[in-house]
């Protein structure tokens, strides 16, 4: 006996065929999309091209204050602050000359204007000049740039006028030794070396002549820059101390030089 094969109507067969086509199409699209994403992920990222324009060089920082004599060996550099003073500066100059010594005089602009003739004497005796600002403002580091510049360049102009020529002013010293980057930068811009010290005689405290002498003797060493004062107050103790210190330094084998620049 034969069994009759039942076949679905044509409408069902078409429905199945359409479903197969749709599924196949979806599968193809899905595989294509995945392949595209994989291709994008696999491709290595492009490296940024190196710039051919060089970076601007940073401006060099101004050097800090020098605290040594110019020459190596058994040399010391004497420095005198806060003058010129009509009583004490000539006495200091005479003592220096008697002992074959040289020194650097850090002058205040207000004093330079009062005693320009003393500036000329210092230069004529073979000494060097140092700018010590117009007003000796010990808070100068806290002032704005315009004020700092005026204090420094003002004394430069006063010294040149007093010396009646294009005199060299190789150094600048901040009042009280209170430095800032702005101060050293402006001094450098004006062609001056910032000048510190390595031996503070503390004569400005008026401790007495024996104390000044003892302080310098204990602290001095080859290359020292010694801080003393020929102005800014009563300086009898400093002058008296120099009468002892200068021959003692010579006896110890020291020679006299200017600070490094």
Look at residue 18 and tell me if it is in a domain. no
Residue 23 included in any domain: no
Q: How many domains does the chain have?
A: 1
Check if the beta carbon of residue 209 is closer than 8 Å to that of residue 241.
yes
Looking at the domain assignment, is residue 103 inside a domain? yes
Residues 6+ apart with CB under 8 A from 149: 186
CA 227 to chain CA centroid, Å, is 21
Give the active site residues. 81, 229
| DSSP single-letter state for residue 5 | P
Q: Is 211 helix (H, G, I), strand (E, B) or coil?
A: helix
Q: Is residue 157 part of a domain?
A: yes
DSSP H helices, 43-162, are: 88-98, 109-114, 116-124, 145-162
Peptide bond before residue 69 is cis, with ω within 30 degrees of 0: no
pTM for the full predicted model = 0.77
Instruction: Assess if residue 30 is contained within a domain.
Output: no
Q: Is residue 26 part of a domain?
A: no
Is residue 136 a contact partner of residue 82, using CB atoms and an 8 Å limit?
Answer: yes
d(CA 181, CA 228): 25
Point out which residues pair with 77 in neighbouring strands.
Answer: 225
pLDDT (tens digit, 0 to 9) for every residue of the chain, 261 residues total?
333 434 444 444 444 444 544 544 554 444 444 444 444 444 444 444 444 444 434 334 567 899 999 999 999 999 999 999 999 999 999 999 999 999 999 999 999 999 999 999 999 999 999 999 999 999 999 999 999 999 999 999 999 999 987 899 999 999 999 999 999 999 999 999 999 999 999 999 999 999 999 999 999 999 999 999 999 999 999 999 999 999 999 999 999 999 999
Q: Give me the domain span that covers residue 114.
A: 75-256
Residue 36 falls within a domain, yes or no? no
Domain CATH code at residue 252: 3.20.20.370
- On whether residue 58 sits in a domain, the answer given is no
């Amino acid at each position: 006996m034969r069994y009759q094969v039942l076949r679905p109507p044509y409408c069902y067969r078409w429905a199945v065929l359409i479903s197969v086509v749709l599924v196949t199409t979806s599968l193809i699209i899905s595989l294509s999309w995945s392949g595209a994403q994989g291709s994008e992920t696999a491709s290595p990222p492009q490296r940024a091209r190196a710039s051919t324009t060089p970076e601007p060089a940073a401006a060099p920082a101004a050097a800090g204050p020098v605290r040594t004599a110019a020459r190596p060996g058994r040399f010391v550099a004497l420095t005198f602050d806060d003058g010129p003073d009509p009583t004490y500066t000539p006495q200091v100059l005479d003592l220096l000359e008697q002992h074959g010594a040289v020194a650097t005089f850090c002058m205040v602009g207000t004093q330079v204007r009062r005693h320009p003739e003393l500036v000329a004497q210092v230069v004529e005796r073979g000494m060097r000049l140092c700018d010590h600002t117009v007003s000796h403002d010990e808070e100068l580091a806290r002032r704005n740039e315009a004020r700092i510049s005026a204090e420094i360049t003002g004394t430069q102009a006063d010294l040149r006028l007093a010396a009646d020529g294009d005199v060299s002013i190789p150094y600048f010293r901040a009042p009280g030794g209170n430095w800032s980057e702005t101060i050293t930068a402006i001094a450098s811009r004006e062609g001056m070396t910032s000048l510190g010290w390595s031996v503070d005689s503390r004569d400005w405290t008026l401790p007495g002549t024996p104390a000044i002498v003892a302080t310098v003797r204990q602290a001095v060493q080859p290359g020292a820059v010694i801080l003393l004062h020929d102005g800014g107050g009563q300086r009898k103790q400093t002058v008296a101390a120099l009468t002892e210190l200068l021959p003692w330094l010579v006896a110890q084998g020291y020679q006299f030089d200017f600070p490094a620049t």
